[in-house]
Each structure stands twice: as structure tokens, then as C-alpha cells.
Structure 1
Amino acid sequence: MKTLKSIISLMLISLFTFSCTSNSDNELTDPSETNQTTEKSASAKTVVEVVKSHLKSDGSFYNQVNHESSMTFDLGFQFSYPVILSYNNGTKVVVNSIEQLANVAKAISQTNYIDGINFPFDIDKEGITETVFTETDFGIMVNSKDTDGDGTPNYQDTDDDGDGASDISEDQNHDGDYTNDDADNDGDPNYLDTDSDNDGQADEDEDNDGDGDFTNDDSDGDGEADYTDTDSDNDGTEDGDDADDDNDGTNDSDESYNGGNGTDGSYIDPASLPQTILDYIAQNYPNASIIEAEVEDYGEYEVYLSNGVELYFNSDGGFITTGNDNDSGDDNDGSDDDNGSGDDNGSGDDNGSGDSNDGGNDDNGSGDDNDSGDDNDGSDDDNGSGDDNGSGDSNDGGNDDNGSGDDNGDNDSSTIDAASLPQTILNYITNNYPNASVTKAEIKSNGNYEVSLNNGIELHFDQNGNFLSMDND
């Protein structure tokens, strides 16, 4: 009888153990035993799919040295384990490591997949622990890693560093995955590094045959592409210090960028601009067209738009800053201007200039019309004020009839058409102030934007269109 009882006990224990195992070898838990709540999560599904994209067919990591790179390179964070995920069939699984997450990722399919997670949970972002409370927060986190700042998160971007070469083409060792290739061993894989070999020359500038693809150039025939070879022509001088990297007899400074479209300081066909620049303009200035484009020193770009805005980009096509084509400094023509004022646009200076210095009079009845600084014409201003619209001081040797030397103190900005504001700013205003309209838009000297609304609110944005602060008049 004792033997029978023992057998029954063993069977019950085995049955209980089996019932607690499903979908993987990972531990399962009842969410009611924690303070967490299980919610549907498209972001959790995305994370698992991203990890799976960095696994071989057998479920092992392409990057055997850094397993966490399957999350951190594309997403910018990793989980602080454990986390509880849920399948579309309601089953929940506790994940205690990136390796266990890989097991989950390997097993997902179109009919069996992760679609939920227990909130809140912690993540590790570059050594800093953060708590994620909601799916909204999780979605922002998943889409926050954007190495080249082109608006497309890394996990969706086929050229994460915006250097003109697709991520997969920077798979230096040709093993099918680009996360484990790091030519200069600086911790940034080639596909996230705009100077993969750290030789002082940008990858895209090592396109020595000028065909638009720098990954297929091997000037010294040593089997190592120029962009990962610190001495491309094997002459004993590193590329960053070599005046002729490919040893073709033509100095690098005299060679063309982007497949033969222009040299340093020259005008180029706008259509030949890097796609990252064209995409940036299309996204942020959809109503403007390109008037001129130049390649500056060191391969940087300057682009002039039809709305008067000047945009500056680095040699990788990354946005640097913005200016305004109507903010010139001095006219210095020694004569009056034909538009009935000291300067051409009805003001002492052309839309936000500093000084007029034209030695003549301002026929339009004002010393400065639009954000000018000083008139310096040695005479009074006919409109009864030294400065008309936001000038600094009217150092014209006369009087300011408006009762003040300074009007708005805004001599470091230029007024622009509201329609020419970056699309990100227009979207922000539409989403947050749907019943308001723009009454004034300005570009500051540092490239930042200031926007005044008809409800008395003043918004400030950085040069990329990101919101900074708000004032209420």
C-alpha cells in the first residue's frame, strides 16, 4: 500500500512539473503574483523580431562576442531582466537573459508570436536604468535610436549611419550580419561608423573609383576595402594624412565627390546631392525647391532653397545648421536703392541685416524696416523712429522719434514665411495647438526657430525642428 501511495505521489509531482512548462524552457509565472499588469504591446513584438533578425538559422547569434548588440545597436537599450512576455495565445513566459530572449525569438512564427509584456519593467540604456510604465513610453523607446538623425529608427533604416552604403553592404566579413564588423575596434560597428577604419577620412570619401559605392574599392588590391584600410594605397602613409589615397596621381582635394559631381567649393547639380540631404529637404521643406547646391571644403554641402533658407550638411549628408538667404550684412553700394529705401527690401538692410553703411538716405521713410541693427547713414529716419521692427540701436547721429533707442532687441534673427518652417514644427503646432495660427516665424542666428501664435504663445525649436520651450505673452 505504501508503495502504491509513493507511485501516485510521484505521478502527481510529475504532472504538476509538466503543466508549468510551455513554449520554452523559461520559467512561467502568474502575473497576479506580481505588481505588474499584462498588456498588448506592438513594441514587444518589434523587439523580439529585431533580435531574431540577428540570429543565424540555428538560433545562435551572429555576433558571438556581444549578444546584447542584437538589441542595443538597433534599439539603443536592453532589458533589465527578468521581463515577462506574453504570446498571442495568452501564454506568458519569463525571460531572464538575452540568450533566453533569443530562444523565444527563434521559435516565433506567423501563428505563434509575442504580442504583450508586463508593465512596468526596467531597461538598461547605456548603463542607466530606466523604468517603462506604458506602451506609449515603450514605443518611444523602441523608435529612439536613429544614428544618422534622418527620422527613420535604426531597426527600420537600411543605412543607419547615412554614409551612402547600405548596412548589409558594410558586412566586412561577409557572414550575413553587419553587427559584428568593427574595423577600428572602437565599439561602433562599421554600419554605425562614418569612419570605419578611423583613418581621418569619412567612408563615403573613400569611394576612390567614383561609382557611388565605397565598399567595392580596394586601391592596393590587398583584399581589404579602402574604407576599412587605413592605408588604402599601401604607400606607408595613412589615408588621413595622404594627399592621394588611391595613388592615382590626382590629389584627393582635386577629385570628385559622389561619382564625379563637383569638387571642393564648386556648384553641383542638385539631383546629385546625397539622398539623405534630398530626403531631409523633402521632409522639412516640402513646399520649397533647391535653387543652388555647392560642395564646400572637406566635402561639406551648402544648399539654397527657393524660400531663402540656406542649409548646411556635412560630407555624410548629415544636417549641420540653417541660415537665411535674406540676412545679408552690408550693402556698401554707396548709393540709394531703387525700392524707395536705403536697401532693396524696403529696409535699411535686407531682412535682418546688421548695418546699412550705404552713405545714402532711406527713401521709404524708415532707417531700418525689418530687424535691422544700425543705420549709420548720418541722418534722421523719416518714419519717426530709428528702428522699425525689432532693431537694436539706431546709431545714425539723429534721434529716434518713437521714444526708444531699441524696439525689440531682435537684431539676431530673420523673419521667414511660416510655410517654410520645417515640417516637424508645423506638425507640432497642428497637434498641440489645432485652433491657433502662426503670426510670425523667425530663424535665429544659431539656426533655432521662434514661432509666435495668434493665441499669444511663443514656441522655440532647435535647428532640427525639435521643441525646446514655450513662452506666453
Structure 2
Amino acid sequence: MKKVVIGILLASFVGLWACQKDILNDSTLGLLETIANDTSSDPVGTTDLPNSIVSYVNENYSPLEIEMVFMSDDNGYHVILEDGQELFFNMNGDFLGDGNEGQGNGGNHGGGHMGNGPHSNGNPGAGCAANCIAGDTLDTAELPQAVLDYVAENYAGLSINVAVLKPSGKFGVELSDGTVLLFDEDGSFIKVCEGDEGMHGGGHHGMGNHGGNHGPGQGGETNMCTFGDSLTLADLPQSATDYVAENYPGESIEVVVAKPNGDFAVELSSGTVLIFDEDGTFEHECGNHGGHGPGWGGTEITASELPAAAITYIESNYPGETVVLAILTFHEKYFVELSNEVKIIFDTDGNVIFDSGN
């Protein structure tokens, strides 16, 4: 499942308490802490959310969209936007707070949602740069020309190290100096993603590509567990290595990542993913907590579940190729990857939004 380290969040609340106590009461703070700390919460889809949450995000965070949702039973929802911003709501869909409190007292992000007003439209908050480049890797040549032009004009002398297609159809790029930028479906600039220096060269953010890009994959918890920064085996605590040798004899460690919350995730040669805390103590085996439904970005579906128009488009334009991954995203779009590594985004009716092969 997931564990969220909220030390920074709590420190932020302490700093804000004097001027924000009329907005944030003890019960609200306590509930937010409970949701954030719930290690048994399950990933859910946006269709499982109260309509008020979806409306709140659309009204206050556009053009950013929801990329992951966890539900803490009888407590509330932890919503993660595609730039890494974290929002918390109670079971009725009432907004409790976000992960950026304590940055000031303004009415938008920069002031945080515990400020004196909602997040202002068109001014996305800081979030986390790593989330902005969580997606399926593209060649630079596959980016819209508008993205290339923007980078050339505004970041002269820098090159694009990583380019990704996000499940919403947006594009994330990491530049040679570590700057991460987010663009919409047409290649129009949205924001500079701050709060992190990307994923250190990229390559950790594939959609379901275990054994390849080890990032927040689609379609279930196992992929989510390998979201993090790639490490070498030597970086893993010895106690974790010993645990694998003792409990999984005959298997080798293929992937090691440091997760954003400080935990370690290892993927074994069998595909099993194990989670260890920062000291190397075993926590759980991914997949043994249930929650095999919606994953990061959406829910994996079969090719036959794609709209008829999408299937026709694939058959007409890519004869002989097969669908290796199909996702119904949280944004009611369809992400498709073909056997030739072409990525296509379709709208609800099967109309093409983006095709990396054309």
C-alpha cells in the first residue's frame, strides 16, 4: 500500500498554527494526520470519489488532473495530482488540507490551502518534480514542436534529457540542468515543477515496465511500489539483503529504488516486489495487501475494452502490431502502448489526442 512521511507536513502546521487556528481545528488536523499515516489505505478510481472532490480539483487546480487516489476507510481520501501535489479530503468530500502548508499566508499556492483562499486557477503549486516526469518515456523527436520551441527560447544552451507522456496526455521534460517542465496536450507550457530535482537523469517512470523503467506503473499496487529513485544493490541496507537471501532463496534482486518516503523497494527476479523501511526492516510484499484495482494514473484494461474507433484506428494505422498496455485513465481517456513502442492517447469516444508514431 503506501506510507506517507508527514514530518514536514506537521512542521508546516506548527508554523502556521498561530495565524491559521481559526481555519484549522484540532479535529481537522487529527483527521488529516490519520489519512496521511494510514499504511493500509487502498488505491481507488476517481469514479469512487464524491463528486465534490472531483469538482474541487477541477475548479481549483486546472489544468492539473488527478493521478492517484488512496482511500483510508472511514476517514477520507488522499489525492495526488499529476505534479505531485497532495490533497486530503474527508469521506464527505470536504477539503481538509494539502501537503504544502506553511509556505506563507497567501490565498493561492505559495500560501497553501490553509491560507485565506483556494488555490488560484492558472497558478499551479510546487508539487514534486519527480511526479511531473512520471510517465512513459518518449524520444525528444516525439514531443510537440511547441515544447521544443519553448525550451529553445526559454532555456537556451540546455538540452532535453528526459521526455515523458503522462496518462492525462500531458508532457513532462527534464532538462540537462535538472529543471523539470510540464506541458499540456498541445505542448503549451504549464509550469516549472519544483520541490525536487527530478529523477536524476530519468528512466524511473515507465508505465508498467518492470525490468525496464522502474516507476509508477499502471494497473495496480505492484507498479506503484517501484516508484522511486534507482539505486545499486550496494545502496540497500544489509538487513534487507539478508532478508531476501533467507526468505527468497534462489531469487536475485533485479531492481532497488529509494521511495519518496524513505523506504526501499526491491524487485526480485520472479517479479515479486518487497518493501523495507529506511533501516532495512521488512514491511510487506506488494500485492499481499489487496488493492489490485486502480493504479497510478488509471486502471489497466484489455484491448477489447477500448472504444471501437480506437481499435479501428490501431488496426488501420498499425497493422500487425498488438496492444501491450491499455489504460483507462482517471481523466476518462485511454492510454495505449503498442508492440512497436508507439504510445497513443484516445478520448472517451476513441478519437486520437496524441500519437507518438505520427
Higher strand proportion (structure 1 or 2): 2
User: TM-score over 0.5 for the alignment?
Assistant: no
Q: Give TM-score scaled by structure 1 length.
A: 0.20
Which one has a bigger Cα radius of gyration? 1
